Every structure is written in C-alpha cells, then in structure tokens.
Amino acid sequence: MKEWLLQLSNLPGIPGHEKKVASYIKKVVSPMVDTVEQDNLGSVIATKKGTSDITLMLSAHMDEVGFLISSIESSGMLRMQPVGGWWGHVVLAQVFNITTQKGKTIEAVVGSKPPHGMPADVRNRVIDIKDMFLDIGCFSKEEVLALGIQIGDMVTPKIEARSLNDSKLILGKAWDDRVSCGVQLEVLRRLQGKKVVPNVVAAFTVQEEIGLRGAQTSSYKIQPDIALALDVTMSNDMPGLPKADTALGKGVALSIMDATVVAHRGLFTAVEDVAKQEKIPYTYDMMVVGGTDAGEIHKQRDGVITMTLSLPCRYFHSHTSLVHEDDIEAMVRLIVAYIEQFKTEQLNTLIQSKFED
C-alpha cells in the first residue's frame, strides 16, 4: 500500500488533467476486481461483485490543486491561473513542474522579490497569485514556445513523496485526496477472493477540487444504495489551531457534517459500531468549511445513504502535506470490516432509521 501511496502522490493530475493518475489506478486495480470502466468525465469505476443487488459505493478523488499557464510574457515569464484553492503564502519561491501537451516536464520556480528595502505594508501582506509569475530560465516568449509550453498547460508542485525522518508520517503533495485513492486500492486488495454481500464499487473521481463534478457523474452511473466518501480533513494538532479531536495518529475521523452534507445518522451509527467492535481508533470530524464527494453523491435519485470518512492531514493544498500510516491503516480496517459484516437486511434497517420509532 505504501508504494501505491508514494506513486500516487508523485503523479501530476489537476482537475481535468487526471489521465496519468487514472492510468496508474486502472493498472493496479484491474487484477483485484471484476470490471473497470470510466465515465465520460474520466472517473475510474472499479467493481467487485457481491452476492446481492445492493451496491455500496466508495469514492475518493484523483485530482489535486494546481495551476494552468494563463499567459506567456515577452520577457519569458509565465503567469498562472489557480485550479482549486491556494493560499498565496505557500506559493512564493516554490518549485513547480509544468507538463506540456506532449507530456514533457519542465521545471519552474515562482519568482519572489528579496525583502531588502521592501516597504512594511508590502512585506506583511499576502501577494495575490495573479501578481505572481513562473520563471523557467527563458528570456523571451519565443524561447518558451520553443520548449513546447502553451497556454493551458498543467502546473503542479514538485516534490518526491517519502517518509519524514523514518517516522510513520508520510510527506508529499496531493494527499488531498490521493491518500484515499490508496486506501480504496488496499480495501479492494484485502477483499480479493472473498465473498461479500454488497457489490463494492470504488469510484476514483475527477474534478472534486472545482465542484465535486466527478462524484456527480460517477454516482449517477453507479446508482449506489449506500456510499462512503473518503477524503482528508484538518489535523488539529498544530500551534494556533482551535482544539478538536482530529489529529495525526489518533485514527480515522467519522464526519458528522461538512459544508455540503450531513451524515446519514443510521449509517454513521452502524460504522461507529463496527469501529468499536473491532477496536479501530477513531475520532469525530465536523469541518464546516469545504466538502467532499459526499456532497453530490447523497443527492442522486431520491437520496443516497451517505457519510464521509476522513484522514487527518497537515498542510494540505500546498507542496508538503503530512499523513500518518496508522490513520490510513485504521481507515482501511474500518471499511473492510464494515463490508465483510454487511448483511442484506441492513439496507432496509438504514432506510427505516430516518423514521421515529
């Protein structure tokens, strides 16, 4: 699983440009499942058939935040358009990779003025990304074009995923949400060769960072009865953050609600009961800014029984985010145990749980 995670982190793939990630996932997942297909937006849908007609959907998004080249200046500098949420503080002086239309990778650095003589009001404010530029070592627009760079090329952080100082923390880009893609692969690996009641359909979705778009199309195609969306959440063990349960090494986080969905209470209770029974460490999450694939999945047809499972993550939406191996293992174990213990009658129990006794 860790090898998959490192590979997934290193691959480039912003919204609308997830092909390399999708190709890798299809290659890994194909031996583990009965069918692999893609919807028309590009989300990968891997199905392990169960013994019933009940469908349980897992969803994790393949895309990462990044940029597109928006203009090429006569000086040879490049301007960029954010794709997904970025904070200007984490962009200046960072190294990025530009991926050309022909697949060539070109290194670039975001220009940063030295602070010497800089007025205090300039030094103390966050610079707008629209005012930043990429430097690739060219001195004219013609040099840039000769390298094959075009407007619309993908820009992603340059960093090699790795363990941080031989600890259980893994450092890399795109853990939002490649870490959950790795979880889904490991869940399917552990279920390989086992009989399960529900059809387990793992969706590796596109374009989550710009509006949960792949979740909408893939869940429309899958038509699930139950869905577990997998994503990252704030790790609240950093200086300056309000105290909350979610923290690295404390387990998988059961999401009560976010800005796009309130967890189905019956499903939440059922999943929590499995965690208690299997002694899987878990916490509660209530991050009311932002959302996950669950925000679109639960609105399909007349409503899908849905909740989100989250992994604590430090510094996501930057070059250098951190996740904990124990939390990843906890999420895998919880999903596998829930699927293995699922019985046909549980669907009706979940449907009825919205009514008062």
What's 139's domain CATH number? 2.40.30.40
List C-alpha distances in Å: 209 to 108, 219, 234, 256, 320: 23, 17, 16, 21, 18
Instruction: Say if residue 118's pLDDT is above 90.
Output: no
35/176 same-domain check: yes
Q: What is the C-alpha end-to-end distance of the chain, expressed in Å?
A: 43
Q: Cis link prior to 245 (omega < 30° from 0)?
A: no
Burial environment of residue 268 by CB neighbours within 10 A (0 to 12, 13 to 18, 19 or more): buried
More confident residue, 123 or 139: 139
132/224 same-domain check: no
Tell me the pLDDT of the chain averaged across its residues.
95
DSSP strands (E only) in the chain: 35-38, 44-48, 55-61, 66-72, 78-83, 95-99, 105-110, 134-135, 154-157, 162-163, 169-172, 199-205, 226-234, 252-255, 282-285, 305-313, 321-324
Domain containing 234 equals 2-64+161-352
Task: For residue 119, name the pLDDT band (cuts at 50, 70, 90).
Answer: confident
Which structure tokens are listed for 319?
A: 């070059």
Give pLDDT tens digits for 187-203. Answer: 999 999 999 999 999 99
What is the reported pLDDT for 143?
97
101/16 same-domain check: no
What is the reported pLDDT for 347?
93
Task: For residue 115, name the pLDDT band (cuts at 50, 70, 90).
Answer: confident
Which structure tokens are listed for 40?
A: 């028309």
DSSP assignments along 136-182, one per residue: -S-SSHHHHHHTT--TT-EEEE----EESTTSSEEEES-HHHHHHHH
Instruction: Say if residue 356's pLDDT is above 70.
Output: no
57/95 same-domain check: no
- Which residues does 45 contact at the CB level (< 8 Å), separation at least 6? 36, 37, 38, 39, 201, 202, 203, 204, 218, 221, 222
Domain boundary residue, one of 157, 175, 202:
157
Give pLDDT tens digits for 282-339. Answer: 999 998 788 999 999 999 999 999 999 999 999 999 999 999 999 999 999 999 999 9
Pair 217, 248: CB distance under 8 Å: no
Give pLDDT tens digits for 37-92. Answer: 999 999 999 999 999 999 999 999 999 999 999 999 999 999 999 999 999 999 99
What is the reported pLDDT for 114?
76
pTM of the model: 0.95
Give mean pLDDT, residues 31-38. 98
Which structure tokens are listed for 298?
A: 């639960």
Domain boundary residue, one of 107, 140, 157:
157
The b/e string for 100-114 (b: 16+ C-beta within 10 A; e otherwise) is eeeeeebebbbeeee
CATH assignment of the domain containing 45: 3.40.630.10
Is residue 357 assigned to a domain?
no
What is the reported pLDDT for 120?
80
Is residue 105 assigned to a domain?
yes
203/305 same-domain check: yes
What is the reported pLDDT for 354?
73
Q: How many C-beta atoms surround the C-beta of residue 326 within 10 A?
A: 16
220/92 same-domain check: no
Please give the positions annotated as active site: 208
Give the Cα separation of 157 and 96 in Å (integer): 4
* % of the chain with per-residue pLDDT over 70: 99
More confident residue, 89 or 14: 14
Which structure tokens are listed for 99?
A: 């991926």
Task: For residue 125, name the pLDDT band (cuts at 50, 70, 90).
Answer: confident
Instruction: Say if residue 357's pLDDT is above 60.
Output: no
201/336 same-domain check: yes
Instruction: Say if residue 127's pLDDT is above 90.
Output: no
214/242 same-domain check: yes
57/173 same-domain check: yes
What is the reported pLDDT for 22?
98
Give pLDDT tens digits for 259-289. Answer: 999 999 999 999 999 999 999 999 999 987 8
Phi, psi of 60, rounded to the nearest 5 degrees: -145, 140
Count CA atoms closer than 13 A to 183's CA, side-chain side.
Answer: 35
Give pLDDT tens digits for 196-246. Answer: 999 999 999 999 999 999 999 999 999 999 999 999 999 989 888 777 789
Q: What angle do CA 269, 213, 227 make, to 5 degrees?
A: 20
What secondary structure letter does DSSP report for 37? E
Pair 152, 90: CB distance under 8 Å: no
338/213 same-domain check: yes
Domain total of the chain: 2
Domain boundary residue, one of 105, 128, 157:
157
258/142 same-domain check: no
Diameter over CA atoms, the chain: 73
Is residue 107 assigned to a domain?
yes
